[in-house]
Structures are given as C-alpha cells and as structure tokens.
Amino acid sequence: MRLLVVGGGGLLGREVVRLARRAGHSVTATYHQRPIGTDGRRLDIRDRAAVAALVAAVRPEVIVNAAYRQADWATTADGGMHVAAAAAEARARLVHVSSDAIFSGAADSYDEGTAPDPVTPYGAAKAAAEVAVRGLVPDAVIVRTSLIIGAGTSETERYVHDLATGRRSGALFTDDIRCPVHVGDLAAAVLELAADPHPGVRNVAGSDPISRHQLGLLIARRDGLDPAALPAALRAHSGLPGALAVRLNCSATQAGLVVRLRGAHEFVGAGTA
C-alpha cells in the first residue's frame, strides 16, 4: 500500500507509520512543527493548496488523517475537509480519525450509527469534520476513538506522572468514564481498516470503560508511583463542559478485525483499581 500519514509525528500517527513500515508498506509521513526523521514532509493542513499539492506529488493509495490540535477549528474541521478534498481529487482511500468527544454522554453507550451531539467546541469541530469528510469522500472510513494510551508517551500518562510526583496540582475525575485504547491496538486497527473496502464509521476503542481516576491508579501502579498521591474529584462538580461518560460500543467493528482491542486493565496492568 502507498500510504500517506498526515500528522505522522503525533502519538497515533507515529505508531501507524511504524507498523505500516514494518509491514512493508511505502509510507510518507507529514509533520507540522517538529520534524520527524529525515524523510518527513512538512504540512499544515489548514493550507488547502499545500495539502492538494502534497497529495498530488505523493499519489497515495490511502491517506490516514491523524492530525490534531485541541481547540483549533481550522486544523480540526477545515483541515479535515482539506485532506478529504485532496483524497477525493487523487481518488485515494481515506481513513479519518475522529473522537468520542462528538458525543454528549447522555446515552449509555454509542454504536456506529449514533448521530453526534457534541457539547464542546472541540467536539463540534470533530463532528463538523466528519460531515465534511463524508460529503467529499463517501467511502471514507471514519474511526471514532477514545483516550489514546501509549507506553508512557501519552498526555494522560504524563499528567498522571506530574500529579503523582507533585510537579503539578490537579485531580483525576472518578465520574469521567472513557474507553482508553492502546496506541498499538488503535494503529493496527487503522491499518486493517485502511485495507478494508467497507466504508463508514468504525468505533475503535478499548473494551473496558474506566474512569480517569481508575486509569491513573493503574498507570501509577505500573510505573511504580504512589497511587495515594493521585487526588480524586468529581467532574460533575468541576464546572467543566463536556461529557461525563462516553462508552463507545466497538463490538461491530471488533468482529471484523484481527487485532483485539484490549481494555485498560489488560494493557496497563492487572490491578483492580
């Protein structure tokens, strides 16, 4: 497969690039600010003409869009649209990465057919991107995912370390439930779906709904930190906008995947939290 990974320097993008190269695919990765390796290509997806030019030059069979910047409509919504437009022009398949932030959390769980009902600007931008992508590339695969956890490299893991070691103050919510996914499982699923001729929305998250506080305890135990040093709080009392609990139901997508989407208890640790 000739693959273009947009956002190839990020947590997910890096892993997609690594696994794709290991599988023998021809991969071009783009970065935004911090160069990646010697063969990365600089790209700002807010620049429609630049996206079109790069895609025309690389002529990918598949584009994975894993670019992301929180609270930036131009990257999330407009950028997603620019990548989709270029994919349509080049007749490339598209895997667009979306988020559980498109949901309010009002439902008990969310399957692939659920319509977005975002309650934050970020969620609204991600939902708008999905609409634009579907309009431009009707056979795109839209991967909705949840908290991405790596081997120590994710924002969540860094936050837990900072809290546990007193480098910053804060708390982890006990009522903020997500389905954390291991970056390796997610990247493997993205590559499977890139080769999958069946278009549409795919939920790709961990099998284990868990609170951010429970997740923090697992990470602390795994990394030899003091779990008691992680303050707990209620998001419901925090005044912060956003969903309390979003459980992505991945069973339909999982049934068609080789990779097993593990839950946080399994991939972070065997603790019972």
| Binding positions for ligand NAI, rule: CB under 6 A | 7, 9-13, 31-33, 43-46, 66-69, 75, 79, 97, 99, 145-148
Taking the complex as a whole, the smallest distance from the CB of residue 12 to ligand NAI amounts, in Å, to 4
Residue 2, both tokens = 């000739």
Closest residue to ligand NAI using C-beta atoms:
10
Spatial distance between the Cα atoms of 227 and 143, rounded to a whole number of angstroms: 33
Cα atoms in the Cβ-side hemisphere of radius 13 Å centred on 35: 5
Other beta carbons within 10 angstroms of residue 121's beta carbon come to 15
Q: From the CB of 65, what's the least distance to ligand NAI, in Å?
A: 7
Q: How far is the CB of 48 from ligand NAI (least distance, A)?
A: 11
Antiparallel, parallel or unpaired: β 41-42 and 62-65: unpaired
Query: Smallest distance, Å, CB 46 to ligand NAI?
Result: 5
Question: Of 47, 49, 41, nearest to 7 (Cα)?
Answer: 41
Nearer residue to ligand NAI within complex by CB, 122 or 230:
122
d(CA 29, CA 9): 8
Supply the minimum distance, in Å, between the C-beta of residue 134 and ligand NAI. 16
3-state secondary structure of 39: coil
User: Which lies closer to ligand NAI via its Cβ, residue 44 or residue 117?
Assistant: 44
10 with 66: CB under 8 angstroms? Answer: yes
Closer by beta carbon to ligand NAI, 97 or else 261? 97
99 or 211, CB closer to ligand NAI? 99
Alpha-carbon span 60 to 50, nearest angstrom: 15
Shortest spacing between CB 118 and ligand NAI, in angstroms: 12
CB of 148 to ligand NAI, least distance (A): 4
Query: Counting beta carbons within 10 angstroms of the beta carbon of residue 260, is it exposed (0 to 12), middle (13 to 18) or buried (19 or more)?
Result: exposed
Measured from the CB atom, is 115 or 228 closer to ligand NAI?
A: 115
In whole angstroms, what is the distance from residue 139 CA to residue 63 CA? Answer: 13
Closest by alpha carbon to 151, among 32, 40, 15, 16?
Answer: 15
* Bridge partners, 95 (sequence order): 64, 141
Amino acid at 240: L
CB closer to ligand NAI, 58 vs 66: 66
Shortest separation between residue 228's beta carbon and ligand NAI, angstroms: 25
Q: Which is nearer to ligand NAI, 9 or 206 (CB)?
A: 9
Tell me the one-letter amino acid at 254: Q
177-178/210-211 β-pairing: antiparallel
Cβ nearer to ligand NAI, comparing 31 with 273: 31
